[in-house]
A and B are shown apart, each in its own frame.
Chain A
Amino acid sequence: MSGNTFIGKKRKPSRKPEEELTPSGMTQSERLSPLLRSNLQKLQADMGESVDLVIRDVESVRPKLNMAFAYIDGLVDSTAVSEFTIQTVLDESSGWAGDERLDIGELCRAFKHKTLSVGEISKAAEWSDVYLKLLSGDTVLFIDGSAEVIIAGTRGGEKRAVTEPSTQTVIRGPREGFTESIRTNTALLRRKIKSPNLWLEAVRIGEVTHTEVAIMYLKGTASEEIVDEVRKRLSHIKIDGVLESGYIEEMIEDTNVTVFPTIFHSERPDVIAANLLEGRVAILVDGTPFSLVVPSTFNMYFQAAEDYYTRFDAGSLIRMLRYISFVIALLMPSLYVAIITFHQEMIPTPWLLKLAIQREGVPFPAFVEAIIMETVFEILREAGVRMPRSVGNTISIVGGLVIGQAAVQAGIVSPAVVIVVSITAIASFVSPAYDLGISVRLLRFLFLFASSFIGIFGMATLLLVLLLHLCSLKSFNVPYMAPYGPTILSDLKDTLVRVPMKLMKTRPKLLGKNNPNRIPVPAPKAEDPAAGAVGGSLTGAEATGTNSGSQNQ
């Protein structure tokens, strides 16, 4: 926590993140009334007397003052509400004996500065702010006679614990994954990058849901244009609700007319941290463990976290294996169809004879056969993902035995096509990024069509079209195929191969323009922000280590 403390202190002069939250969807910009009763009535009425809205009346006798706490049950940390908020106010008000002429404004200040022993305290005068805070889990203190309310930060309630991510698993590497709580997620990143230059901005998106969306980047490293572009695109989003980062992804991507993902996502803090260090910008969305990273390049979808945790030679080999399996997943079924239908001369005779034996008596042409098996596989896969876990065995029995073996024995499909589809299926899951696998699945069918009509020629043509398309793509104005497309020699160090860490001295050219060296070169310019960051964060953290949290919520 010491790191957080320090960061909070350092940042405070420049910005107050909570105030940046723009309640974009809130139409009620009405001001509060000074009358407690009417405020509470309006609250009850606005929320349709929802049963989880708790209103706790508090009365102090002298001075005669009516107050009421309002909070949403389940969203708040109930200990904080009862012990640090209600309890303290009750204690304090009992000690006010005699002071009849207590000024409301002073009272508020007293509450704010003395009484309430929670970390975050703020005031609000408009209903929109009140609702935003209330529904985020804060406790609102209404005071009779005051047109302002005091808001105590008591956010809490049930959260899922930090667990191992179920996608992008590693054998060696950190086991923690993001959760649905954005605060946990930002903290996970802060724990990885203890630098004051890790800046966090937040916006609220969704006319109804008011979901908190945070932009995280390394100030001084990430390109300002990209950060600005992210801010701009996020501010242009008009949507009623954001339930997953996929919503944001689709709303801010450069083009929807592509099957390729142009925004990378991950639920691994280490992956996001590594991308932040490269100068990319992370977009975290409350309510989902999947964070977005922009700009993304084609190359990123082949980089697994583990490449960097194992030895570089092993990492490089596996990297190449991923590219190969990408090609297999994309082309294998169409190549099979092309060979069976057009280019029998392409393969060695003994092999052709084996294929001929298998094709003997199969009633469908190779294309139909391949389509059938591909479709069956897709059905199996989809069923496997969606169905209840308790019936999981059924899939393997039905899928493996009935479809794999029985179909071959019955002579409906040839064993070769089963092998082809299986290899393809496995190869399509090799990519550490699941969404690239989806693109490949879509394209595979296109290739199947092309090869069934004009064989290898069709495949080659389509490959060419695909390559052109890939080269035309951009992600936040960074070419998608960089560093292949615009060839950037120095960035090829982390593409097909991963060079040893000692040689990875520079950040990707297109991203880390501001701060190209990973390890700051000792230069006369002492004001280099990154250099200050590395040195300063450690000493700073130690110095302020004992100071208890001002940033914690």
Chain B
Amino acid sequence: MLRRCMLIAASVLLALPLGGCWDSKYLDNLSIVVGIGVDQDPKNEKNLRVTLQTVIPNQVSDSQSGSGKEGIPVINYVGTGETLIDCFLSAHHYAPRRLYFSHNQIMVIGERLARKGVSDIFDLIDRDMEIRTDFDVMVAKNGTAEDVLKTVTSMEKIPTNQIYGMIRTMQQRVGNLYSVKIKDFIESIKSVKNDPAIPSIELIGNADQAQRKSNVDRIEPENMLRMDSMAVFHGGKLVGYLSDEQSIGFSLVKNKLKRMNVFVQVGENEKITVTHLQSKAKMKAIFYRNRPAVLIEVNHQSLIMDNTSRRIQLKDEKEIRWVERQAEKNEQKQILGSLSRLQELNSDAAGFGRCVYQKSPKYWKRNKEKWDSIYPELSIVVQVRTKILGTGVRIRSYIGEERGT
């Protein structure tokens, strides 16, 4: 018994070093990549130019005593090459430590590259085990990804953290964009059934000044990053941008909206704002005379947020119902506006193709090839139901009250 135990113990112990620390990568020998920018190489149309934003650990700290508080906590390595892996390897020429991609948080695609088409470059990201596929992807509107990643920010010391936070905040507070993970982007980029749409980011100001520390020495920096609305793709190529209003409508259809305000115009300068607490959008295809159409049903539960109207005092049920109907009407218009803009761009970002396929796979099989021409002509029906649950902590507005009573 003892002998056997010793043998087992010995073989376990001897087996341990057989691994020989395979795959070990010490944390202090890693350059942690937090952001990837992909652009077209200006020198060679065919090549990619990749910007890798990596963290300099001892510059990040603010809680630790020590040196380097004043420095910029990131450094960008730029590499060029035909494929992403070529670019990564070429970036290694500048890097003292192994580039480590597991903690990448965002990927920015330069507008020129996006317009040229990005459908064929992401296999590495999908395939490599080290690179996660859950980081956000976005388009650098009117610029290059390199410039976006070069901007020094002040609230978050690491620029990619700033961008990451901006996307989340925008999605929650404004709703004109929603975060798209690279895996969803890759999945839809080649799909015929739907097209990708991703947020866009824009550098306001001068790229060269933006990368200097002095950029954040002002209360109001001259060069800042700004999140913009959704950029839509078709066939792997960027085809255009939605406006803010259209983006909100689009997010609503995609069920990505966390918060949305609808305005009801009452008179000249009188407006009622309705805020949706909960929204649920359903999309389904219907066939009418053998032609597909898409029916979108949206249900809201809402609150009155603001009332500057004298005429509508929200005194009774009838007035509230009237506000509901007006809000529905306005919203319907907004959704239709964004969907027709998508049809104009011939980008099926809302995924109508998938709806039609789910409704009738046979029809889809027959008309798959012609979908590009069917889609812009597709009729869309939008139904909005809004239920106002409350009027906040008061019913009547002080605005409408008689003076001196």
Binding site for B on A (CB under 8 A): 255, 257, 340-342, 344-345, 349, 352-353, 355-362, 365-366, 449-450, 452-455, 458, 462, 465
- The answer on a CB contact under 8 Å between A255 and B19 is no
- Indicate with 1 or 0, residue by residue over B105-128, a CB within 8 angstroms of chain A CB atoms: 100000000000000000000000
In the complex, A249→B5 CA distance in Å? 21
Per CB-CB distance, the 10 closest pairs between chain A and chain B, nearest first, are: A345-B102, A356-B57, A454-B19, A357-B57, A359-B28, A349-B103, A360-B58, A453-B16, A257-B5, A340-B27
Q: Which B residues are in CB contact (< 8 Å) with A340?
A: 26-27
Contacts A341-B26, A352-B32, A357-B61 known; 17 new A-B pairs at CB < 8 A: A340-B27, A341-B24, A344-B32, A344-B103, A345-B130, A349-B105, A353-B32, A356-B28, A356-B32, A357-B58, A360-B57, A360-B58, A362-B28, A453-B16, A453-B20, A455-B23, A462-B12
Within 8 Å of chain A (Cβ to Cβ): is B17? yes
Give the complex CA separation of A60 and B20 in angstroms.
89
| Nearest chain A residue, comparing its CB with the CB of B157 | A353
Which B residues contact A (CB, under 8 angstroms)?
1-2, 5, 12-13, 16-17, 19-28, 30, 32, 34, 55, 57-58, 60-61, 64, 100, 102-103, 105, 130, 132
- Give Cα A359–Cα B20 distance, bound, in whole angstroms: 22
- Closest Cβ of chain A: how far from B166's Cβ, in Å? 16
Q: Are B34's CB and A257's CB within 8 A?
A: no
Given contacts A356-B30, A360-B28, A365-B26, contact A344 B19 (CB under 8 A): no
Interfacial chain A residues near B27, Cβ < 8 Å: 340-341, 344, 352, 355-356, 359, 366
Q: Is the CB of A342 within 8 A of B57?
A: no
Closest residue of B by beta carbon distance from A257: B5
CB of A366 within 8 A of CB of B26, answer: yes
- B54 to nearest A CB, angstroms? 11
Q: Which residue of B lies closest to A461 (CB)?
A: B12
Q: List 7 A-B contacts (CB under 8 A).
A: A257-B5, A344-B102, A349-B103, A352-B27, A353-B60, A455-B23, A465-B12
Contacts of B26 in A (CB 8 A): 340-341, 359, 365-366
Please state if B1 and A257 are interface contacts (CB–CB under 8 Å).
yes
Contact of B60 among A357, A359, A450 (CB under 8 A): A357
Known interface pairs A344-B30, A344-B103; A356-B55 also in contact (CB < 8 Å)? yes
Asked whether, in the complex, the Cβ of A353 is within 8 Å of the Cβ of B19, the reply is no
* A356 contact set on B, CB distance < 8 A: 27-28, 30, 32, 55, 57
Within the complex, the shortest CB–CB distance from A461 to chain B, in Å, comes to 8
Beyond A344-B103, A361-B58, is A349–B16 a contact (Cβ under 8 Å)? Answer: no
Beta-carbon nearest neighbor of B20 in chain A: A453
Residue of A whose beta carbon sits closest to that of B62:
A357
Task: Evaluate contact between B16 and A357: CB separation under 8 angstroms.
Answer: no
Number of A-B residue pairs with CB-CB distance less than 8 Å in the complex they form: 81
Q: How far is the CB of A256 from chain B (nearest CB, A)?
A: 8
A453 contacts B25, CB within 8 Å? no
Q: Which residues of B contact A358 (CB under 8 A)?
A: 64
| Assembly CA distance A360 to B66 (angstroms) | 11
Q: How far is the CB of A469 from chain B (nearest CB, A)?
A: 9
Contact status B21-A349, CB under 8 Å? no
Smallest distance from the beta carbon of B339 to chain A beta carbons, Å? Answer: 37
Contacts of B55 in A (CB 8 A): 353, 356
In angstroms, Cα B12 to Cα A454, docked, is 12
In the bound complex, how far is the Cα of B130 from the Cα of A345, in angstroms?
A: 8
Distance in angstroms between the alpha carbons of A204 and B279 in the assembled complex: 82
Tell me the bound Cα distance from A341 to B20 in angstroms. 13
By a CB distance below 8 angstroms, the chain B residues around A342 are 23-25
Residues on A with beta carbons closer than 8 Å to the beta carbon of B105: 349
- In the bound complex, residues from chain A placing their C-beta under 8 Å from that of B16 are 449-450, 453-454, 458
Distance A257 CA – B2 CA, assembled complex (angstroms): 7
- Residue from the set B23, B57, B61 with the largest chain A CB neighbour count within 10 Å: B57
Minimum distance in angstroms from B375 CB to a CB of chain A: 39
Residue contact B25 to A344, C-beta cutoff 8 Å: yes
Which residues of chain A come closer than 8 Å to B12, judged between CB atoms? Answer: 462, 465
Complex: how many Å from CA A455 to CA B25? Answer: 11
Closest to A452 in B: B21
Cβ of A416 to closest chain B Cβ, rounded Å: 10
A350 CB to closest chain B CB (Å) equals 8
Contacts of B64 in A (CB 8 A): 357-358
Asked whether A349 lies within 8 Å of B34 as measured between CB atoms, the reply is yes
Identify the interface centre among A255, A352, A355: most chain B CB within 10 Å of its CB.
A352
Minimum C-beta distance from A333 to chain B (A): 15
Residue pair A458, B19 in contact (C-beta under 8 Å): yes
Asked if B58 and A345 sit within 8 Å, CB to CB, the answer is no
Give Cα A358 to B26, complex, Å: 13
> Which B residues are in CB contact (< 8 Å) with A344?
25, 27, 30, 32, 100, 102-103
B21 partner residues in chain A, CB cutoff 8 A: 341, 452-454
A365 to B29, CA, bound (A): 10
CA distance A338 to B22 in the complex (A): 12
Chain B contacts of A255 at CB under 8 A? 1
CB distance from A37 to the nearest CB of B (A): 56
Chain A contacts for B100, CB-based, 8 A: 344
Interfacial chain A residues near B5, Cβ < 8 Å? 257
Please give the distance in Å from A391's CB to the nearest CB on chain B: 32
Give the residues in chain A near B28, CB-CB below 8 Å. Answer: 356, 359-362
Question: How far does the Cβ of B182 sit from chain A's closest Cβ, in whole Å?
Answer: 15
Q: Which residues of B contact A453 (CB under 8 A)?
A: 16-17, 19-21
> Which residues of B lie under 8 Å from residue A362 when comparing CB positions?
28
Contacts of A449 in B (CB 8 A): 13, 16
On chain B, the residues within 8 Å of A361 by CB distance are 28, 58
- The CA-CA distance from A542 to B102 in the complex, in Å, is 77
Give the complex CA separation of A255 and B1 in angstroms: 10
CB distance from A115 to the nearest CB of B (A): 59
A362 to B, closest residue via Cβ: B28
Give every chain B residue within 8 A of A349 (Cβ-Cβ).
Answer: 32, 34, 103, 105
A344→B130 CA distance, assembly (Å): 10
CA distance A357 to B13 in the complex (A): 33
Among B20, B21, B30: residue with most chain A CB under 10 A: B21
Report if A454-B22 is in contact (Cβ < 8 Å); known contacts: A356-B30, A357-B61: yes
Shortest CB–CB separation between residue A363 and chain B, in angstroms?
10
Give the residues in chain B near A365, CB-CB below 8 Å.
26
